[in-house]
Structure 1
C-alpha cells in the first residue's frame, strides 16, 4: 500500500518519461558503436553496472520507443553519460515540454520524499549562475518526440550559465555541422549517422543545494564513418564548467579520442569510450559546405527522375507546348 501511495503521489506531482531502468544496456545497444557501451573502471563493464545500487542503466523511452541511453549516478544525482545516435536534424524549434523525472528510480518499498535518487526541477530553482545543461542536446535530435525525450533530469547536469550558452553551445553547433557534412552510414548513400557519447566529470564536494553534484568538466565524443576518408573516425572535446563572463570568445578545441581518454583517466577514472576502429581523428573543416558526393548526387537525380515520371500526361503536354 505504501508503494502504491507513493507511486500515485509521484505521478500526480511530477511529469515523467516512460523510461526503463535495465540490468544491461543490451536492451538498447543500438545507441552504442558496434553495440558496445563504454568500459568505465569500477562503474561499467560488458554492458552492466558494477555497482547497481549506485549506477543505474536507463533506456530512455518516450512514446513507446527507445530514444537514447543514460548511465545515471544516484549518489551525485547526475548522469555519467548519455549515448545517442545523430541522424541529422529534421525539425526546427525547441519543444515546449515540462522537465521530467524517471519514476523507476524512485519506486521503493518505503515511503520517502520524491527525488531522493535523482535531481528534481526544484533543485534548480533560484540558481542565479547555474542552469540545466543537456548531455544529449535537444537540437541534435532528429524528430520532435526524440527532442522532447531529452527534457528529463537524468539527461541534465548543473552547468554554469555562461559556459552552457557560450563555448559549450558553440562547440555543440560546430560538431553538428561536422556530423552533417562528413558522417554517413558505412554501406549506405546519403543517410547521416554518428554515435555520440556526452558525459560529466563529478566535482569533489561541490553540490548544488547540498544535493546535486556540479560537474567540474564536461566532455563529448563522436565516432562515425567519414564519407571522405572512407574510414571510421572520431572527434572529442572537453572543457571546464566555469564562468565565461570575461571570456566571451572562448572556444573548445577538438581533440583525439586518445586525448579525451587520457584526460578522463587522470581526472576521473580509466575509460574506453569506443572500440579501436574509432581511434583515428576526424579533422574536418566546415566553414564552407562540402559538395555533395556522388552517392548523394545519384539520390537527387533518382528522386528527380521519379518525380518526372510520376507527372500525368496533361502536365507534359503543357510543359512541351
Structure 2
C-alpha cells in the first residue's frame, strides 16, 4: 500500500528524533564515562537507529516489508499498471474514508498472528488480488493437514491504515472500525469494510468458489495453511475448475518442487468483464508460475500454467510463454514475473 504524505512525515520525524537522541547519547557517554568502550557506545546507537526503523508503520510500498517471498527479492513487473482506481464516487464515500486511501493497487504483506506468510497485489477497484507470491514449502511426503478452516479473514488496513496490521475475521474488523471511528452502528462499520474490499456476502450462492491464489496445501504447517484464508488472497473461481483441473495442477506443482531447495511461486489472474454483485471481478483466466532454485539460489527449473476460468485442462507452458499470453489477454505492453525469467 502506498503511504500518504502524512505517514511519511510522521516516519521521518520519528526517525530524526531517534537519530538526534542517539547523537546526544554518544556525546554524553564520551564525556561522562571514559570507561565505556567505543564498541558499547556504537552498539547503543545502532539499537536506537533500529528502533527508529521499527517505528515505521506497516504499509508496504512495493512489498519492501516482505521481499523474501519473491525470487531474488525482485517483484513482478507490469501488473501494478493494470489496476484501475477505485470507481466509487467521492461524495458517496462513507465518513472517515478518504479517496486517496482507495488508490489502487495495494501492496499487502499478508500478516497472520504477527508473522508475514506471503504477499498479494490487491486490486482495490476490482476487489480481487491480481496475484499472490509465496514459497511452496510442502513436499510429497508431507500431508495436507485435515480439518481446514472455512472462515475467510479480511484486511483491516484496507479500511484505514491505523487499524490492525494483521488480517482479522470480518466481525473483529467491524469491531475495530467501530472503536477507531467511534461509531455505534454496526451496519455503518460493515459499509466501510465493504467499500474497501470484498466480503464473504459477495460470494453467497453464486456458483463460484472463493478460490485461493496461494493454495492451502502448498504449505506444510497448520498456521501457514490458515494464513491463506483471507479474501485478499481469493478470487471468484469456477467451482468445477477449483475442485478439478486446477486442483490437479496444484498437486503436480508439489511433485515438481520435490528436489528444489526453495520454490518461489506467483499465482494470479486475468481480470474478466463480469463481476459478482457488480462488486467483485470474475477472472477470465487463472495462471501460476514457479521458479525452483538450489541451495545456492541458482535456478534449476521453471514453468507455468494457464487456465480458462471454466473446467478446461490447464495449459502447461514456459514462464516466457505465459508472459506473452498475459500480454495478449490483458492487452498491456509487457509483463515480467521473475527476474531474468528464472534462468
Please confirm whether the aligned pair reaches a TM-score higher than 0.5, indicating the same fold: yes
Counterpart of 2:257 (choices 179, 200, 204) is 179
Deviations 1:210-230 (A, max 9, x none): 110000000000001269xx8
Q: Secondary structure of the equivalent of 1:37?
A: coil
Q: How does 1:79-90 map to 2 (within 5 A)?
A: 79-88=129-138, 90=142
1:239 & 1:41 partners in 2: Cα distance?
A: 18
Instruction: Name which of structure 1's ranges 52-61 and 131-140 shifts more when overlaid on structure 2.
Output: 52-61
Identify the structure with the greater helix proportion: 2
CA distance in 1, matches of 2:148, 2:79: 36
Q: How far does the alpha carbon of each residue in 1:222-267 deviate from its partner, in whole angstroms, 9 at most, with x for none?
A: 001269xx8432110001002x3xxxxx532321011100001111
Q: Secondary structure at the match of 2:338?
A: coil
Aligned to 2:74: 36
Q: Structure 1, unaligned stretches of length 5 or more?
A: 1-18, 45-50, 185-192, 245-249, 280-321
Equivalent in the alignment of 1:284: none
Provide the aligned C-alpha RMSD in A.
Answer: 2.4
CA distance in 1, matches of 2:203, 2:227: 19
Tell me the equivalent position of 1:101: 154
Partner of 1:22, secondary structure, is coil
Give, in angstroms, the shift of residue 21 of structure 1: 4.1
1:106, CA displacement in angstroms?
1.2
The answer on whether the counterparts of 1:69 and 1:83 sit within 8 Å (CA) in structure 2 is yes
Q: How many residues are treated as equivalent by the alignment?
A: 236
Partner of 2:90: none
Q: Which secondary structure does the structure 2 equivalent of 1:26 belong to?
A: coil
Structure number with higher strand proportion = 1
**2:208 pairs with 1:130:** yes
Verify: 1:217 aligned to 2:285, yes or no. Answer: yes
1:241 maps to what in 2?
A: 309
Structure 1 segments, 4+ long, off by >6 Å, are 108-112
Question: 3-state DSSP class of the match of 2:265?
Answer: strand
Contact 2:319 2:341 in 1 (8 A): no
Residues 1:267 and 2:329 are matched in the alignment: yes
Matched, 1:118 2:181: no
Contact 1:232 1:277 in 2 (8 A): no
Written as runs of structure 1 = structure 2, the 5 A alignment for 1:247-258 is 251-258=313-320
Unaligned runs of 5+ in 2: 1-56, 83-100, 162-179, 182-187
The CA distance in 2 between the partners of 1:253 and 1:119, in whole Å, is 29
